[in-house]
Amino acid sequence: MSAAPLRRPRTVPASARQQATPTSRQRPELRAVSAPEQARSLAPFAWSCLAVILGAMLAVLMINTAMSQGAYERRDLKIEIAQLHQQRASLISELEANSSPALLADAAAELGMQPHQQMGFVSLTDGLVLQQGGQG
């Protein structure tokens, strides 16, 4: 193994060392520096955040109010539909009771009508009453 030669530090002559140190003439001039900018206020940002939050809460309140109003209308309509179904059922049962042959015969007798002995048909095109296949 061969050893690398040792390096010796360079020596700087004294005259060069004196030139490297700044003298009073070589100092840079001092100048005024502008003041740093003031930090912006957080108030406008805080107010805008507050406005957004209040707007969102107001929107939720309006939607909730509209939904509850719709729910009340829906409930009222369901009640009305149930009442109409009951009314329809009672009218159908009344119609069926009144359309029975016995009640129709009694109502016709009260009006002075009498049952006919022969069956007949009405011709809608001619406007004539046809009895047992013949004209009457």
Among residues of the chain, what percentage have pLDDT more than 70? 78
Mean pLDDT across the stretch 96-104?
Answer: 88
pTM for the model: 0.43
104 contact partners, CB below 8 Å, separation of at least 6: 98
Mean pLDDT across the stretch 7-35?
Answer: 66
- Cα separation, 20 vs 56, whole angstroms: 69
- Look at residue 120 and give its three-state secondary structure: strand
Can you list the alpha helix ranges (DSSP code H) found in the chain?
14-20, 43-98, 101-110
- Tens of pLDDT, residue by residue over 47-93, are 999 999 999 999 999 999 999 999 999 999 999 999 999 999 999 99
DSSP class of 117: S
Structure tokens at 124: 């809608």
